[in-house]
Amino acid sequence: MSRKEVSMIGNLTRDMMRDVMETSLKKPIQTGEFRKNPVEPAWRCPNDYIYELIPTGKFVMEYLKPKQAVTGRVILQLHGGGYIGPMKNIYRRFAVKYSELGFGADVLTPDYRVAPEHPFPAALEDAVYAYKWLLNEKKYDPEQIVVAGDSAGGGLALALCLYAKDHALPLPAGIITMSPWTDVTLSGASYEENYTIDPLFGNSKENMLYQCSYIGDDDPKNPYLSPLFGNFEGFPPMLMQVGSYEVLLDDTREAAKKARAEGVKVRCSVYDGMFHVFQMGLDLIPESREAWEEVGEYLRIVYRIHRDQEGKIVKKVKTRRKDTEERAKLNLLAFLKRELK
C-alpha cells in the first residue's frame, strides 16, 4: 500500500529537516553523536498510568501499565537509535500511544545495551531477556504479545522473532516495524536511489548506517544482525511501515517481499514523501496520524477486538486456537442476543 498524496505539513516537515541537515548539525546528527547522549527533561508519566523501572543487572526495562485496566495484552517495544542510542522520551510517548491503540495494553520497553561499548549480540540478548521476562515472569500469553520496533529496533524485533523460532520459544501474535533496519550490509537499491532525497541519511556516507559499530567482528549477513537474510516462515502477521524518501526503503520492501514468499501475512505501507520514522510526528503530521491509525487497526485485528455499531468493545477473544474459535463465536452470539432483547 502506498499513500499517494503528501500533505502540506508533511512536505514542510521534510523540507525543514533537509534545511537543518545543511547546517553544521548534519555530521553530529548523522553519526549519532547527538543520539548517544540525549539531553532531555524528566519524563512525566500520564496520571492514568503506572510507570515502573525494572533493573536486570545489565540494563533497565521500562514497564508502563494503565491504572484502571488489566487486559492481559502487552506490547514489547524495541526502540531505535542505530544500536548506539539509549532510550528517549519520544519512545515513552510511543509507549503511551501503543497502550491506547492496544485497548489498554501494557508496554515493556527495554533500554537495551548499545554499541560501541556493547556490540552484537548484546542488544539481541537484552531483547530476548525482555521477551522471556514477559513469558516466564509475568505469564503473558504469547498470543497476547505484539513486538514492535522502529529503525534499528525494527530490525531487532525481527531478529528477536528469528531467535525465538530457532530456539523453540513461542512466537508473538504480531510484529510492527517502522522504517526497520533489516540489512546492515546496505545492499538495497534505495541506498543509491534515495541517496540525494533522504533528508536524514542522504548525501553522506559518514553516518551511523555506513559506520555501524554494533556489527563488531561478526558477519553482517548474520540474520540476527540482518534479518533480511533470515527465514520468516511461520512468523505471525506483520505490519511494516516506511517512508518513500528513505535510503532504508528497500530494507522494508525486500523484507516484506521475502516474508510473503515464505507464507507470512504482511501489510507493507509505503508513505509517499515521508522520511525515516516519520511516526515521531504523532498527531502533528497527517501521514504520521494515518500511520498510527493503521497501527491501531492492526492491533484491533491481531488482538481480535470486536466492536458493536456504537464503537463499544463487546468481545475480546484471547486465543486464536481453532478449538476455541467456535466457542468464542457462540459466546458472542449469546451476548448480542442478550443485549438486543
Active site residues: 151, 246, 276
Alpha carbon distance 98, 82 (integer Å) = 21
Closest CA to 79 of 179, 161, 205: 179
CB 305, CB 146: distance < 8 Å = no
Which is it for strands 49-55 and 74-78: parallel, antiparallel or unpaired? unpaired
- Interior/surface letters 261-294, b for 16+ CB within 10 angstroms, e for the rest: eeebebbbbbbebbbbbbbbbeeebbbbbbbbeb
With H, G, I as helix, E, B as strand and everything else as coil, classify residue 59.
Answer: coil
Q: How many residues does the chain have?
A: 341
- Which among 215, 38, 204 is positioned nearest to 116, based on CA atoms? 215
Whether the Cβ atoms of residue 287 and residue 281 lie closer than 8 Å to each other: yes
CB 87 within 8 A of CB 133: no
Dump the DSSP string for 228-281: GGS--TTPPPEEEEEETT-TTHHHHHHHHHHHHHTT--EEEEEETT--TTGGGG
Whether residue 46 has a cis bond before it, omega within 30° of 0: no
Task: Judge contact between 307 and 39, C-beta under 8 A.
Answer: no
Give which of 89, 111, 112, 246 is closest to 182, Cα–Cα: 246
Amino acid identity of 275? Answer: F
DSSP assigned state of 197: T
Q: Which residues of 45-61 are buried (b: 16+ CB within 10 A; e: fewer)?
A: eeeebeeeeeeeeebbb
